[in-house]
Amino acid sequence: MSRPFDVIVYGATGFTGKLVAAELSTRADLKITLAGRSNEKLQALAKRLQPTAKCARMDVEAVSVTDTLALEKLCRKGRVVIACAGPFLQVGMPVVDACIAAGTHYVDITGEFPFVRRVIEKHHAAAEQAHLFIVPCGGFDCVASDIANHYTHRLASQRQGALPVRAVEAAVGVKGGASRGTMESIANLLRTVQRSDLHPHCLIPQKERKGRTMPPKELAAGTVAFHPHFNRYRGPFVMAPVNERVVRRSDYLAGRDVAYTEMSLGSWSQGQRARVAAMMILGARYDAGLALLRRLVFPAEGDGPSDEVRRNGGFSVKTLAYASPRGSLDKTKPIASAGVSYSRDAYTFTAVSAVETALAIIQGETSPAFVGGVLTASAAVGDALLARLKSR
């Protein structure tokens, strides 16, 4: 694919888009375009990044998501687009449509699983046929969980003679804050989600869901209970509904039938606090609840965690894999465990993981199992991404 630019970042002027743009600007030899809807904001961003930029070329281009032809023309200039404009359920689809029309690979940072479902339904077949890699959820949600799960199965597969893995439990711990864009996207998801999106396997084609292992119900309800193997109390993890569905798609794409579930870990009272926080966020479904959250909890528009909060942030994902014969779920003894951790916050990681996913695609490091399609990061570039993230 010969194109004037390597990577185009659309939505480059948002809180996270700026981090992605900054990460790209540090990569020698890359030709990048910073794109979004506001020329003024794009010019200001480029001016700020230029003095320290190491990339070979940095252009800016303002294009509206409502201008289909201009968006397709923009996407045709790059080998891969990283989409950062959200909420994705509101503004995301035109960028995917444009990439499909332009024959350009696509990575985004959405965490809105109903959006991912719509992208799969609309574009999976066409992307596979055109050998295009369309990879939603390339940020912290869901790469941290997805890559930890990928690594866990790699370790489990090295256990000679072990039964197949039937369940993976992941404990996610996060330190840091959330951006306004993240909070608005969660609120928008809660207010627009449809019943059919709530199926635990909603990212797997309907005809292939029958007979798949369903996750245990008590975790979905957010129970706080002692976990005998992690040796701590488990509580709900706020992004579990997103990560679980994406990781289950990864398992499906890898030909595995596994009950994947996520939780937070801590003391009993920390578990209860996580439960209250999850319930507060659910309040965004109602007008009054959303107004209150916007006033008291959400950061200002375009804002997010401060540099200091981001510097002191971090996360870890610890997993346990259980093996048992088909049709049964035996969790008495894990056969493998893995840990993934990062010493900077989830937003810094989002920029790094989205960039590494995009570069792995255009540098030919895609999994031999797929020629294209709407895939998860681990299905598209799992081994390469794991190696790239480890080297950071």
Ligand X SMILES: NC(=O)c1ccc[n+]([C@@H]2O[C@H](COP(=O)([O-])OP(=O)(O)OC[C@H]3O[C@@H](n4cnc5c(N)ncnc54)[C@H](OP(=O)(O)O)[C@@H]3O)[C@@H](O)[C@H]2O)c1
Residues that bind ligand X in the complex, under the rule CB under 6 A: 11, 13-17, 36-38, 41, 65, 84-88, 91, 109-111, 139-141, 179-182, 185, 302, 304, 346-347, 350
Q: Smaller CB distance to ligand X: residue 77 or 166?
A: 77
Q: How far is the CB of 267 from ligand X (least distance, A)?
A: 26
Q: Smaller CB distance to ligand X: residue 25 or 185?
A: 185
Q: Smaller CB distance to ligand X: residue 145 or 213?
A: 145
Q: Smaller CB distance to ligand X: residue 252 or 347?
A: 347
Opening angle at CA 218, ends 216 and 220, nearest 5: 80
| Cis status of the peptide bond prior to 142, with omega within 30 of 0 | yes
Residue 161 main-chain phi, psi, to 5 deg: 75, 5
At 9 the three-state DSSP class reads: strand
Structure tokens at 124: 């999976």
Q: How far is the CB of 313 from ligand X (least distance, A)?
A: 12
The rounded distance, in Å, linking the Cα atoms of 141 and 343 is: 16
Q: Smaller CB distance to ligand X: residue 22 or 165?
A: 22
Q: Smaller CB distance to ligand X: residue 49 or 321?
A: 49
Q: Smaller CB distance to ligand X: residue 111 or 334?
A: 111
Interacting residues of 391 by C-beta distance below 8 A, sequence separation 6+? none
Q: How far is the CB of 308 from ligand X (least distance, A)?
A: 17
At 136 the three-state DSSP class reads: coil
Q: How far is CA 164 from the centre of its chain?
A: 26
Q: How far is the CB of 20 from ligand X (least distance, A)?
A: 9
Q: How far is the CB of 75 from ligand X (least distance, A)?
A: 14
Q: Smaller CB distance to ligand X: residue 81 or 336?
A: 81
Q: How far is the CB of 42 from ligand X (least distance, A)?
A: 9
Q: Smaller CB distance to ligand X: residue 5 or 298?
A: 298
Burial class from Cβ neighbours inside 10 Å (0-12, 13-18, 19+) for residue 291 reads exposed
H-only helix segments in the chain: 15-25, 39-49, 68-76, 88-91, 93-102, 113-129, 140-157, 180-192, 217-220, 240-253, 268-282, 287-296, 307-311, 346-362, 377-390
Measured from each CB, the residue nearest to ligand X is 181
Residue 323 zone, left/alpha/beta (φ > 0; ψ -120 to 50; rest): beta
Q: How far is the CB of 368 from ligand X (least distance, A)?
A: 27
The rounded distance, in Å, linking the Cα atoms of 320 and 309 is: 30
**What does the DSSP assignment read for 346-384?**
HHHHHHHHHHHHHHHHHTT---TT-SSEE--HHHHHHHH
Q: Give the Cβ contact number of residue 194 at 10 Å.
A: 9
